[in-house]
Structures are given as C-alpha cells and as structure tokens.
Amino acid sequence: MKILNIVGARPNLMKIAPLIQAYAGLDGAESLLVHTGQHYDANMSDLFFHQLGIPEPDLNLGVGSASHAVQTAQIMTAFEPVVLEQKPDAVLVVGDVNSTIACGLVAVKLGVRLVHVEAGLRSFDREMPEEINRVLTDAISDLLFCTEPAGVANLRDEGISDERVHLVGNVMIDTLLQHRERAESSTVLADLGLTAGAYAVLTLHRPSNVDDPEVLGRLLDVLEVVAADGPVIFPVHPRTRTLLVRFGLDARIEAIENVRLLEPVGYLDFLKLMASARVVLTDSGGIQEETTILSVPCITLRENTERPITAELGTNQVVGQDPERILAAYRRALSGELGAGSVPPLWDGNAAQRIVEVLRKAL
C-alpha cells in the first residue's frame, strides 16, 4: 500500500506529524510526503519539520503564494505528474487549505482514493475560503476522519454515507500531547521577560479580520485596552504583517505599550506561550482546539466556529469582531468564572493510531 501525504501550510504540519509516525506500525505500507510549498518561510514551515521530527518531504512542489485560482491551479498542475508517476493507492490530505482541495481534486480525477483527515467541520460561512475547501474536499473523499461529533452530523446532512465516515479524535491534539512536556522546558518566558499567568497571547490571520483596514483598526482599539493590563505577545502571521504595513497601521501597533510583536514562533515556544498565558485571543482554527486541551481561556475573534466542541466543552468563547463583545468576553475570561472546561471525547493522543487502523482494513 502506497500513500501520498500532502502538506502545504503551517497547520498541516502538526496534523501530519503523528500520522507519519503511525504509518511505521502499518506492515507493507509505503508513505511519501509531498509539500506543495504553499507556506515557504522557514518559520512557517522548516522549523516545524525539525521540531516535530517530520522527515524531509520526498517532494516539494514549490508553488508559493498567489491568488486562490492561480495557487490552486499551480498546485494541481504540479501534483498531477507526481500522482501519475508514483501511482499511489491513496492520497491523504489534512485540514482545509488550498493545498487540501487542490491535491484532493487531482487524486480523484486520476481515480486514486482520497482520504481526508479533519473532515466534516463546517462554519456554515461560505465567505471563508476554508469553508469552500472543506465542503468540496469532503464531497470527493472516499474516507473521512472526523475530530468531533458535529463533523459526523454535518457529513450525514450532506448525504455522505456513514460507512465512509469515522470519528477518530484529533491528530493536532496527538501532537500537542506528545510535545507538551518538551515545551515545558522552553525558555521563551524568560527570554521575553514574562511571568506565567501575567500576559495575553494574540494571533490574527483570517482575511475577514486582517484584509479590511477598518476591521483591523478596530481590533487594534481592543488591543490597546488589553495591553493596558499587561504584556500581549503577538507573533505576526506573514499575511498580517504585509497588511499592517500596506494599511499604514504598523506604526500605530508598534507604538502600543506592552504589545510585543514577534515573527511567527516555533511550535514548542508557542505551546509554552499558550499554556502559561492568562488568555489567548485568536482567529486561528487550531488554536481554539489547543487552548481547550491546555485549559486556557480562548477568545475567538470570529463570528462563527467550525469547531463547536471547543465552545461546548472547552474554554472557547466565539465573540466576533465587535470591540464591546470582545472586551466583555475578555473580562469574563479574567474573572475565572468560565472554569477549566473538559476534554472532548477521543482527544487522547491516539487519533493517528485509529486512522491507520481504519486505513489498514480499508486499503
């Protein structure tokens, strides 16, 4: 059995790492890793290979950044000859980025079985590019692995037959649990002069937050209020950095006292930063899940979430972009009234093992 595994963007790396490890227990399996090159900066890609022990990709398609259509088309054009040459039994894609749908489409058009890990998540917001990628990838996948019950229900509602769908838990959490102890010895707090429990962490990269100067400007108003309480650690995504400069907001954010603008940080340091924060403000998908496991209050700066279990069981408050609502949630988080939350079913570190077991039987 030969499986081609696809990564492209930063969050794909935390998801693929435990699967690559789990294939080792699969007799007769050959697994190859293909990087589309969607993310290419060392601190958005290479760094995570080293920290998470992911082997060098067997192939890098080197597509880089472009518009949605151009990027998706370039990935497809570069990936098709790979599938023709390698003749895999299956292509496995994770998450919801352009690399996910592009490689998925190539696979099914060549009659190769498609496996989607993190299937079924829905924000029901078609303005999110990721929502289009999720719906389309699930529609063409042969095997669909879900992280939470809502994913299974969404796929059923879309008419995808139950026997293709498996609730297995969360591979991103496999990675977190595996590296949590190592992250404990990160020196990032001392390096940044931080005291555990006395700072906030912020990440922003959704187009709905960072592509519009008015929306981004209002989020900086919120940031000023939060920073008045203590340090705010903000590792800036490359998309956001570019837009802050383009909108002339870079000088404003640099002038806010207590805001620490960093380049994107490595996984272990970021895990340590989250675990010791008093609150995390974010529009990331994965960070909503990680803060749930870490029992750190998470304020999600989006109108919706495709990961509802993080709000139902976990520490997540989904509050949107309105400054009043964000600050009300922030105060609730600081008051401690929200509690520690609980661990979603099957988020136990064994999701990749469950996936590989299903693959062994199915392929």
Q: Does residue 264 bind ligand UDP (CB under 6 A)?
A: yes
Asked if 299 contacts 278 with a C-beta cutoff of 8 angstroms, the reply is no
Say if CB 145 and CB 121 are below 8 A apart: no
239 binds ligand UD1 (CB under 6 A): yes
265 binds ligand UDP (CB under 6 A): yes
Type of residue found at 331: R
Report how far residue 27's alpha carbon sits from residue 279's, in angstroms, rounded to the nearest whole number.
44
Contact in structure between 282 and 301 (CB atoms under 8 Å): yes
Give the SS3 label for residue 342: coil
CA distance 237 to 204: 7
Stretch that binds ligand UD1, among 33-41, 149-157, 303-311, 339-347 (CB under 6 A): 33-41
Identify what 40 binds: ligand UD1, ligand UDP, none; CB under 5 to 8 Å per kind: ligand UD1
For residue 68, indicate whether it is catalytic.
no
* DSSP bridge partners of 60: 35
Span from 22-30, 160-168, 260-268, 345-353 in contact with ligand UDP (CB under 6 A): 260-268
Residue position matching structure tokens 């399996």 = 29
148 binds, among ligand UDP, ligand UD1, none (CB under 5 to 8 A by kind): none
**Residue 14 binding: pick among ligand UD1, ligand UDP, none (C-beta 5-8 Å cut-off by kind):** ligand UDP
Span 187-206, contacts to ligand UDP by CB under 6 A: 203
Contact call for residue 290 and ligand UDP (CB under 6 A): yes
Nearer to ligand UDP, 285 or 314 (CB): 285
Q: Encode 24-40: b = buried (16+ Cβ within 10 Å), e = exposed.
A: eebeebebbbbbbbbbb
Residue 65 contacts by C-beta under 8 Å, 6 or more apart in sequence? 38, 40, 71
Residues binding ligand UD1: what is the number (CB under 6 A)? 18
- Which residue, 163, 200, 324, 302, is CA-closest to 316? 302
Neighbours of 61 (CB within 10 A): 23
Q: Is 249 in the site for ligand UDP (CB under 6 A)?
A: no
Helix (H, G, I), strand (E, B) or coil at 147: coil
205 binds ligand UD1 (CB under 6 A): yes
10 binding ligand UD1? (CB under 6 A)? yes
Q: Any contact of residue 343 with ligand UD1 (CB under 6 A)?
A: no
Closest approach of ligand UD1 to the CB of residue 1, in Å = 28
**Binding partner of residue 354 among ligand UD1, ligand UDP, none, CB cut-off 5 to 8 Å per kind:** none
Q: Which stretch binds ligand UDP (CB under 6 A): 52-60, 74-82, 225-233, 282-290?
A: 282-290
Q: How far is the CB of 169 from ligand UD1 (least distance, A)?
A: 21
- The one segment of 6-14, 61-69, 179-187, 331-339 that binds ligand UDP by CB under 6 A: 6-14
Binding residue (CB under 6 A) for ligand UD1 from 36, 51, 98, 123: 98
Angle between helices 267-275 and 285-294 (to 10 degrees): 50
By CB under 6 A, tell whether 267 contacts ligand UDP.
yes
| DSSP codes of every residue in 247-300 | TT-HHHHHTSTTEEEEPPPPHHHHHHHHHT-SEEEE--HHHHHHHHHHT--EEE
Contacts of 91 (CB under 8 A, 6+ apart): 3, 4, 6, 83, 103, 104, 106, 107, 112, 113, 114, 115
User: Quick one: what does residue 286 bind among ligand UDP, ligand UD1, none, with the CB cut-off 5 to 8 Å set by partner type?
Assistant: ligand UDP
Q: How far is the CB of 263 from ligand UD1 (least distance, A)?
A: 11
Among the candidate windows 5-13, 27-35, 255-263, 312-320, which touches ligand UD1 by CB under 6 A?
5-13
Q: Return residues touching ligand UD1 (CB under 6 A).
A: 9-11, 38-41, 44, 65, 96-98, 129-130, 205, 238-239, 242
Residues acting as catalytic residues: 205
